[in-house]
Structure formats: C-alpha cells, structure tokens
Amino acid sequence: MFRGIEDVDWASLGHAYTESATDVPDLLRGLASDDPVRREIALDGMYGAVLHQGTVYDSTVACVPFLFELAANRAVAGRGAVVGLLHSIADPFADEDPGDPEDAEHWTAFDEELHEDWERHFFVARDLIRARAGEFLDLLGDPDPGVRATAPAALARLHPDPVRAFSALRERLPAESDPSAARSLVGAVATAAVREPSQLQGIAAELLRSVVTGTRDPELRMTALAHLARCAPGELPQDTARMALDVMRISQEAAEADQPAEVAAPRTDTMISYLRELKEQHRRALALDEADELLEELHTELGDRIDIRVPLLVGMLDSPDRNRRSHAVTTAGKLLTGWRVPEEEPVMALARLLGDEELSLHKSVLSELRYLGPAARCASEEIVAYIQSWDDRPLEEDTPFRHMALGMAYEVLTLQGDTRIVPALGHLLTVVAIPEELVRWIEALGPETAAPLAPVFHDRLAELGHDSQHEAADQLAAALGLLRHTPSLPVLIRLLDHAEHGRTRAAVLGAFSRFGPAAAEALPTVRRLWEDRTVRDEDRVLAGRALWALTGDTEAVLPVVRENLRSDRWLSRQRALELAGELGRSGAALAPDLRALIAAGHTVVPAAVALWRVTGEAQDALPVLLEQWRTTPTRRPDIAACLAGMGPAAAPALPLIRAELSSPRRHSNDRPRRGNIRYDVASDEALLADCRRILAACGGQPSGDGGGPGRCGPV
C-alpha cells in the first residue's frame, strides 16, 4: 500500500503544527493497523494535522494517493473512516453548506491574501480526489458495512458525473441490508439529484417515495422523507406529517423492546473519542434516539413547507412520550421564530405544556414563548393561568424554581404587551435585580401602559446613588426617558454630572432627548458637556442631540453632525445619522454629506433614511432603499418604517412589499442555516405591520398574505 511513501520529501512539506511533515507517514501506517486504538489515534492525528479545522496543506495533497490505496485494500480494518477522511479533504464544509459542491463561492469567501496557500492546496487536493472518485463506485458493495456507509456520500458529492453516480446508488439500494449504509444511500441519491435536478429530480423523487412506502425500517423511512424534502419538496406525500408521526410511534415501540447492545468504540485520549462521548452524553441527557435526530433533520429539510411542519410539530408537542415532548419544544422555537406560521395551534400546543407535571419542561417552554414575544399573544390566557396555578402550591414547595418560573412568565406577558402584568411588575421590580432588557420591556408595553412603573424606576435609581456606575442605572435612566417621567429629572441630572462611563452618559442624554423641552432644567448640564472638547466625538453627538431636543437650535449642532458624518469611526457616524434623521427638514443642509455616504457604500440604509427625512423627497432615497431591501434583508424593518412614512410616494416598492407579506420566512431567516438559531420576532412583526401600512397608503392589495401572522400576531 505504501510503495513510494519514502520517496516523498515529507520534511519539505508542512501541516497545522510544524513546517516539517515527517510524522505523516507514521500516521498513514497507523490507519492500516490491526489495533483499533492505534487506528483511532492515527485518524485523530490526520484530522488534527493534515486537515486541521478544514484547512488543507501540501502534506494533505501528498497523502491522497496513499489514502486511496488504504480505502481499496480489503485487508485493512476501519476503511470507512479513511473514505470519510478523503471526503472531508475534498468537501470540508459539506455539513455547513449542503448545497451544490460544484459551486465554489463558499471556498473563496475568505481573505484572498491570507488564505492563498490554503486555496491553492485545497483545489489541488479536491481535484485529485474528484479525478479518482470513480473508485468509490467499487466500494458500494464492499464487505465492510462501515465502508458502505461512508462511500455513497463521497460518491454523490465528488463524482464528476452525478447521473453515473445516481445510477450506481439506485442499483445498490435494493440489495443493501445494513441500516446505516441504506440510510447513507438514500441521502446520496438526493444529493446527486440536487446536483443534476433537470435529469434526476423526478427519478429520485419516485425512488424516495417508494422507500417511504415500501420499507419497515422506521429510521430509513424518516431518512427518505427528509431527503425527499431536500431534493423534491413538491413531491412529498400529502400525509407526510402523519407518516412521520407514525414512524416516531413505531420507533418508540421498538426502543421499549430489548435491543442488542452496540459494539463500543475504543476509548482513546483523542479529540475524536472525546467528541464521540460528548455526543453520546448529550443524547443520553436529552433522551434522544436516532429517530428524534432524523425527525429534526426532516424539519430542517422541509424548510418553507410549513403546511407539513405545523401538524408535525403539533403532533410532537402532544406526544404521549415525555422525552419527545421535551425535544419538540426546541423544534417549536426554531420553527416559530424563523417562519411566519399563520395558525394559533402550534403556539397553543407549546403553551399547553405548562400544565405538564415535569417542572423542568416549564423553563424551556417559557424560554421559547419569550423569544416569540408579540407573536405569542394568543397564549396569554394560558400564561396568566400558569402564574395563578402557583397560588395553589405550598410556599415552601419548589421555592427557587417558583421564583424563576414566575419571573419568566412575567417577562413573557410583558413582551406580549399584556397590560395585566403591569401591577405585578411594579411589585416585582421593587425587589429583584433590574433586568438587562428593561428598555425592551417598556417598548413592548408602550409608554402609556408602562407609565405606572415610573415611580418604581425613580426610587430604584435614587437608591443606587448619583455616583453609581452600576449597569442598572443605565437601564433605569433609559426607561425613565421612555416614560418621560419629569419628577426624575433632578436624579438624572446628578447622574450625568457624575457619569464616568460613556454607556451611562449615552443613557441619560438619550433620556433628555426624549423629554425634549420638558427637560429644560437639564440644559446647563447638557450644554457643559456639549462644550467640553475632551469628550469623545460619539458622546458629543449625543450631547448635541439632547441640546437640539431641549432648545431646537439646529444651527448649533449642524457642524458637529456634518463632521461626524465624515468620521471613520462607525459609532460616531451612526449617531450622527440618527441625529440627522431626527432633525428632519431643518437638517436639509446635510443632504450632500448623506449622498456622499451612500455613494461610498457606508451605512447605506441609515444614510438613505436620513436623506429622505431631511429632504422629504423620495426620488433620491427610494431607489437606494429598494436595492438595499433586496440585498440586505436584515435591514428591512428600518426600510419599511421609512417607506411607511413616504405615503403614496412609496408605490414603486409595492412588488417587494407584496412578496414580503407572502413569504413564509421571517425577514432575517434569509438563507438555509443549521443549528439552534432563534430570530428576532418583534422586529419581524413590526416589519409586517409597516408593510400593511404601505399597502394601504398606496392603495395596493396583498397578493395572498400567506406568510403573515395569524391571530397570535399583533393587530
């Protein structure tokens, strides 16, 4: 196998740890060992050195021929890991980017100068492996099931002819008896179809549907459903949700029966062993089995098919199995924050779990409802009932959990804007630490609703003392500004006089800006800060904003705004843009500077919004905003708020507005992502509300508001 290995000048090659790869031949020989411990240590060394975190080196290129020889030699044990290593070298980010491997954009999304060597070595290694990918065809029927479980994915992703690879995979599938290898074949069939959809999508869909209906293996059925969703979502059976839930039931029944113990992998002092044990500990802690993980994969691959995902989720949340219900809570959070689900039922099914006897489940449910904020208003009665249910428990029972659960439930109602929670909050906030998201709470309730809380905030701020640098002081100052509580002005003035931290100055000056002329008694302090040339530029802009709010003296602040619009410091420029927008027409002289910012591509959306506000003319800002809508989805809430203020002048945006209202995805969920991600629901709900205002102002009608919120959303 290793003929010629000594002819390679390993000393002149390098890897992640040294500039001399003389240790690599021993690692390669270790992969051929009969001792499983030595093989695992060698494999760990290969991933650590020659493929370190996906990085490819010249020594990696030199390893490729020897790895192919290892993979082909049936006398070698553990060759499945070698096939997996070859796949990882040629396709290191397949798990993160499951799209078409022919698309090389993600390989070059690095700093070109920094990664020039990496890219050069990677493309050489990848091309070497792709040129020999036909050898994976011979491994589909290998006697070693571990090889048969890894070869299909490598073949489907790396073979230069996806149609040829698909044909071999389809031919092998009926004969495969090993469950893991069969699931790998099913996934590879879908991968080949994704690479060549025009020729393979229909055939792959038919094949995967036959697996779904024709196999008794629940994991294989679930795998086929997930990959059918990936390569041909329109071909999914109408009863996909029911089928998936049936699979879960069958899997649960099988799990309750006696199962043969799996052969344990060797325990070694390696990262591979550590990660394997960590994953197993995670699965045991959450009581997950393979079916649960496959169900999560199905949800991921279903993507925008919320017509299937919603009944599937509700079935999971209502499952008689406690572990499955618990696992479904996380699935609910990812779905409901990432997609605009029009039905109430998923939120209600989630809230119903607060009646579960398992108290630990309550924390997870409340956490997800907190993420949902205004989109979970339909569950407010369930939250109130949950809070009241603690009255029936003895005070000494679960006291630490009681405090945590009630606090979270209060926050859920607060973020829903429920007025009933204000008296309870008034009591709570007199005794607990000031929450980091206090300002968000006040914004969710609205200043008028939250007004009764102002005396509580005043007293808490007074208790902290004017020289306190406590972060709670910043939160309280900002909250009092939102509520415009004029009796607090003396406390705020003293706080600003003694503020040493820029964060505190920003909070108090922001509060004065919201008070406006009502904070006239703060003018001497604000003016003193405004005239202090030692103050940082970004803080001087805030002082100028407060000065303008108190006096209306635009001419005084224009030079500082203009100077900071031209600043290289992002924060200074951002604060200047905010003030420019607030100046409105009185800041018309700033229009040239704002146009220059847009032309330079700096903070484009805030600059375009400010330009509209200082000129009142749509023709300059509107084309920029429409382009940014397409290219920067995360800025759509800011853009929509601006467009809503334009009235009928925003009519050119109507196609984009209709498309947004029809989209099942929340605006920040703009590309496929894997992982435990939550999205900002409150800003998305505000975006949808502004989109409807734009439609009304322009006399338009939505083209099917299929993605908008249901009754759980704000009116």
pLDDT band at 510 (very low <50, low <70, confident <90, very high): very high
Distance CA 182, CA 185 (A): 5
pLDDT value at 86 more than 90: yes
Distance CA 230, CA 99 (A): 10
Return d(Cα 656, Cα 503) in angstroms, integer. 38
Cβ neighbors of 491 (< 8 A, separation 6 or more) are 458, 461, 462, 466
Q: What percent of the chain has pLDDT over 70?
A: 88
pLDDT tens digits for 334-351?
999 999 999 999 999 999
Cα dihedral 18, 23, 25, 31 sign: negative
CA–CA distances in Å: residue 297 to residues 113, 289, 303, 316, 623: 37, 13, 10, 14, 40
pLDDT at 120: 82
How much is the pLDDT for 397?
62
| 670: nearest Cα among 372, 233, 304 | 304
Which parts of 632-674 fold into alpha helices (H)?
Answer: 636-646, 654-662
Task: Specify the 3-state DSSP secondary structure of 486.
Answer: helix
pLDDT tops 60 at residue 58: yes
The pLDDT tens digits for 450-481 are 999 999 999 999 998 766 667 899 999 999 99
Alpha-carbon distances of 310 from 246, 344, 350, 559, rounded to whole Å: 16, 10, 12, 55
CA Rg value for the chain: 30
Provide the mean pLDDT of the chain: 88
- Residue 394: which pLDDT band, with cuts at 50, 70 and 90? confident
Q: Which of 539, 540, 536, 556 is nearest to 548 (CA)?
A: 556
Query: Hey, what amino acid is at 184?
Result: S
DSSP string, 284-350: HHTT--HHHHHHHHHHHHHTT-HHHHHHHHHHHHT-S-HHHHHHHHHHHHHHHHHB----SHHHHHH
Q: How far apart are alpha carbons 20 and 602 in whole angstroms?
A: 45
Q: At what angle do helices 654-662 and 618-631 cross, to 10 degrees?
A: 30
The residue type of 227 is: H
Q: Is the model's pLDDT at 255 over the cut of 90?
A: no
pTM beyond 0.85: the answer is no
Domain limits of the chain? 1-131, 142-254, 553-607, 617-715
Residue 255 in contact with residue 289, Cβ under 8 Å? yes
How many beta carbons lie within 10 A of that of residue 123, not counting itself? 16
The string of DSSP codes covering 565-586 is HT-S-HHHHHHHHHHHHHHGGG
pLDDT at 41 over 80: yes
When pLDDT is averaged across residues 617-631 and rounded to a whole number, the result is 95
φ and ψ at residue 51, rounded to 5 degrees: -140, 60
Task: Determine what percent of the chain falls in helix, strand and coil, rounding each to the nearest 5.
Answer: 75, 0, 25
Q: Please state the rounded mean pLDDT for residues 488-515.
A: 92
d(CA 547, CA 555): 11
- The pLDDT-based confidence of 404 (bands split at 50, 70, 90) is confident
What b/e string do you get for 200-219 counting C-beta neighbours within 10 Å, with b at 16 or more? bbebbbebbbebbeeeebbb
CA pair distance 190, 236, nearest whole angstrom: 13
Q: How far apart are CA 4 and CA 8, in angstroms?
A: 7
Tokens 């698909």 correspond to 166
For residue 281, name the pLDDT band (cuts at 50, 70, 90). Answer: low
CA 198 to chain centre: 31
How much is the average pLDDT of 444-448?
95
* Contact assessment for residue 423 and residue 456, using Cβ atoms and an 8 Å cutoff: no
* 340, two tokens: 């605009």
Contact yes or no for 338/665 (Cβ under 8 A): yes
CA proximity to 66, closest of 9, 110, 22, 5? 5
Provide the pLDDT confidence category of residue 702 given band limits of 50, 70 and 90: low
Residue 710 has pLDDT above 50, yes or no: no
Span 653-688, pLDDT tens digits: 999 999 999 999 999 998 766 677 899 999 999 999
**Partners of 665 in the β-ladder:** 339
**Residues 580, 565: contact at Cβ < 8 Å?**
yes
